[in-house]
Amino acid sequence: MTEAVDAGLGWTVQHAYRGSEFFRRKLDAAGVDPHSIRSEADLPRLPLTTKQELREAYPFGWTCVPPEQVVRIHASTGTTGRRILATYTANDLEDWAAMFQRCYEFAGVTAADRVQITPGYGLWTAGIGFQAGAERLGATAVPTGPGNLNLQFEVMLDLQSTVLCATSSFALLIAEETQRRGLNERLALRVGVFGSERWGEAMRSRIEELLKIETFDIYGFTELYGPGMGLDCREHEGIHYWDDYYLVEVIDHASEKVLAAGEEGELVVTTLRKQAQPLLRYRTHDLSRIIPEPCPCGSPFPRIERLKGRVDDMFKVRGVAVFPAQIDTVLSAQPGLGSEYQVLLTRREGRDRFLIRVEAPEVSGTEVLSAALRQELGVRPEIEIVPPGSLPRTDRKTKRVVDERG
């Protein structure tokens, strides 16, 4: 394993250097001779790559193969600035599908399953990634794409789909709608594969309870093939990632120093086989940690903790840094609350107002909740209880933090 990793790393660095002006300049500027990177121990000598650099390299700046070898292009959603373009060779697509197939296998999906795929198709990597993995496994892909609840239910009922793939917010929407329509007994769903955004334990148990399924958290992003880069196993204690395809380091977001195994920070990935667009120490903005202990499931693939959030999700209130995952943790521990919440930040006369809207059937216990949140966050929010189902749900990514401080 180690030899294969070292060989993959050495190949990647030399390929990147040879294949693009982008990486050649980066490595030259850092004074790194690509031939000197021979093993995983050399990894910290490579310069980090940022999202901003990939954006500036738009469209083909960090593609390292000639155009005739590129067989497909995807792009990131581009909600926060310029798009990042993703290019693939035929081999890259095969590797992506193989990793995705592994995800399904970890979730216990087999060739006998019917997999309903609701993530979006098109330039976005999601839908087609779910489909390629399902087909490679030999399962039946049912590509409904996002939205259109009536169609989703029609297909789920008539075809008796057994696996549902979705963003977590769309999965919640489907789960609540299933209950509202009283369809639970007539559905054949048994597994949910959800991802593309961070979702807490409260949301997870609500979806599992309403749909009577086992859910799996999938990891991935466009710059690194797409979704399918890791999945929690049936132990549900962290996400296994595929270290035969890419390496993970954890760095301190501010100092950029590599952290010891088990410490929490920003995930940094380096690919081992990616041809069209290799990644060298790419800063993902995802916050997590490597779990050093072996998984009880016995899999040799290493694990990261489920994502705590993104570096960009962090917001500051009265000088205190807050991550939405911390709010999740507190809400999950309070009985009687829904899984949905919204943070509203405003400013009046120079002072931040920090309001959290939470769904619950009864308006009580706000003092206890506010105190518990203060304990965890270090800053006290006001609480507003709103009726269940009243906060926005979407089929893409739910925006939980509304910052109107200007």
Query: Can you give the binding site for Zn ion, defined by CB under 5 A?
Result: 233, 235, 295, 297, 299
Rank residues 235 and 312 by Cβ distance to Zn ion and give the closer one.
235
Closest CB 284 distance from Zn ion, rounded Å: 21
Closest CB 291 distance from Zn ion, rounded Å: 10
Rank residues 171 and 233 by Cβ distance to Zn ion and give the closer one.
233
Rank residues 26 and 303 by Cβ distance to Zn ion and give the closer one.
303
Q: Distance (Å, rounded) from C-alpha 325 to C-alpha 313?
A: 9
- Give exposure, 58-95, as e/b (b: 16+ Cβ within 10 Å): eebbbbbbeeebbeeebbbbeeeebbbbbbbbeebbeb
Closest CB 336 distance from Zn ion, rounded Å: 32
Q: Distance (Å, rounded) from C-alpha 400 to C-alpha 336?
A: 20
Rank residues 131 and 288 by Cβ distance to Zn ion and give the closer one.
288
Closest CB 271 distance from Zn ion, rounded Å: 23
* Residue 278: cis peptide before it, omega within 30 degrees of 0: no
Q: Distance (Å, rounded) from C-alpha 302 to C-alpha 368?
A: 39
Rank residues 146 and 302 by Cβ distance to Zn ion and give the closer one.
302
Closest CB 294 distance from Zn ion, rounded Å: 9
Rank residues 132 and 231 by Cβ distance to Zn ion and give the closer one.
231
Closest CA to 156 of 185, 132, 127: 185
Q: Distance (Å, rounded) from C-alpha 345 to C-alpha 351?
A: 10
Which tokens is 167 given?
């963003």
Closest CB 229 distance from Zn ion, rounded Å: 16
Task: Count Cβ atoms within 10 A of the Cβ of residue 231 and give its class: 0-12 exposed, 13-18 middle, 19 or more buried.
Answer: buried
Other residues' Cβ atoms within 10 Å of the Cβ of residue 57? 20
- Grouping H, G, I as helix, E, B as strand and the rest as coil, residue 345 is strand
Rank residues 105 and 352 by Cβ distance to Zn ion and give the closer one.
105
Closest CB 95 distance from Zn ion, rounded Å: 22
